[in-house]
Amino acid sequence: MLVLEDVNVYYGAIHALKGISLEVNQGEIVTLIGSNGAGKSTSLKTISGLLRPKTGRITFKGADLATIAPQSIVAQGISQVPEGRRVFANMTVIENLELGAYLRKDKAGIKDDMKKVYELFPRLLERKSQLAGTLSGGEQQMLAMGRALMSKPQLLLLDEPSMGLAPILVNQIFSIIKEINAIGTTILLVEQNAHMALSIANRAYVLETGKIVLSGDAKELAASEEVRKAYLGG
C-alpha cells in the first residue's frame, strides 16, 4: 500500500533521514520505534507531504506522493494524527470532528462516520459541545484520532499517541488502535512506548539516527535481546 524507497530528508544541513526504505501492506499495523531524534516523526511528516525528500521515492497504492500537496495526500486516503495532538482549542469537539471531513462532500457518509467515531470514543459524544482546549490529555488524544478518522483514511499515521498519558489511558488508546485496524484501516504507528507498540503491531522497523537498523515481525523483534536491551528496559 505504502512504499518508501531510499528516502533522504534534510533539515537545512542536518541529514535527518538517511536512505529509509520501508513498506506498509494493506490491513497491517506497522510500527516505527526508536529513541528521541531517531527520525520517527520526520518519517511521518515526509509521508504526509509536510516535509519533502531530497532524494528517494514515496508511493501510495502505486501513485507518487513526493511532489503533491499535503491536502491532496489526505484526499488520496492518508491521514495523520500529529504528535502533541494539535486539536483546535477554541473550537468545540464537534467542530474539530467536522474539520476532519473538510475535503468530503458526502453528507450522509460524514454523518455515519461521526456516529462511528462516537461509538469508538463515547467520551467525545458526552463532550461534543465542549471546547477542545478544556478536555483532558486523553480526551484530546481521542479527539485528534477521531478528527483524522473523519477524513475516511485508508492509511492512518499515528505519531506518539501515548505521549503524556496515564498508563490506564495508554491501554485504552492502544485497544482503540487495534479496533480501528480491525474495522479496515491500515496503520503506521510511531511510538516511544516500544513495548506497547510491538504488542499490537504485525511488523516493526527500528530507527537509529535516521537509519533503519532492524526490521521484521513485531513479536520476533520484541523477543530479540538487542531490542529488549535498547528499548524495552531489559
* Residue pair 196/83 in contact by the 8 Å Cβ criterion: no
Percent of the chain with pLDDT over 90: 71
Residue range(s) of every CATH 3.40.50.300 domain in the chain: 1-77+153-234
Check pLDDT > 90 for residue 66. no
Q: Which of 193, 164, 207 is nearest to 43 (CA)?
A: 207
pLDDT at 83: 82
Looking at the predicted structure, is the pLDDT value of residue 120 above 70?
A: yes
Average pLDDT over residues 143-171: 91
95 CB-contact burial (10 Å; exposed 0-12 / middle 13-18 / buried 19+):
middle
Q: Return the percentage of the chain with pLDDT > 70, whole number.
A: 99
CATH for the stretch 1-77+153-234: 3.40.50.300
Residue 233: the pLDDT is 62
Please report, to the nearest 10 degrees, the dihedral formed by the alpha carbons of residues 166, 36, 11, 52 taken in order: -60
The Cα–Cα gap between 187 and 196 comes to 14
41 pLDDT more than 60: yes
Return the axis-axis angle of helices 167-182 and 137-149, rounded to nearest 10°: 10
pLDDT on residue 115? 93
86 HSE (CA, 13 A, CB side): 11
Do 77 and 155 meet the contact criterion of CB atoms below 8 Å apart? yes
Q: What is the pLDDT of residue 64?
A: 93
Q: Which residues are within 8 A (CB) of 169 and not within 5 positions of it... i.e. 6 or more apart?
A: 137, 138, 141
Using one digit for the tens of pLDDT, what is the confidence trace for 90-117? 999 999 999 999 888 898 889 999 999 9
Give the end-to-end CA distance of the chain in Å, rounded to a whole number.
34
- Closest C-alpha among 75, 114, 109 to residue 94: 114
Q: What pLDDT, on a 0 to 100 scale, did the predictor assign at position 11?
A: 92
Q: DSSP of the chain, one letter per residue?
A: -EEEEEEEEEETTEEEEEEEEEEE-TT-EEEEE--TTSSHHHHHHHHHTSS--SEEEEEETTEE-TTS-HHHHHHHTEEEE-TT----TTSBHHHHHHHHTTT---HHHHHHHHHHHHHH-HHHHHTTTSBGGGS-HHHHHHHHHHHHHTT--SEEEEE-TTTT--HHHHHHHHHHHHHHHHTT-EEEEE-S-HHHHHHH-SEEEEEETTEEEEEEEHHHHHH-HHHHHHHS--
Q: Average pLDDT of 111-140?
A: 92
Q: What is the pTM of this model?
A: 0.91
Backbone torsions φ then ψ of 39, nearest 5 degrees = 115, 10
Looking at residue 3, its pLDDT comes to: 97
pLDDT at 180: 93
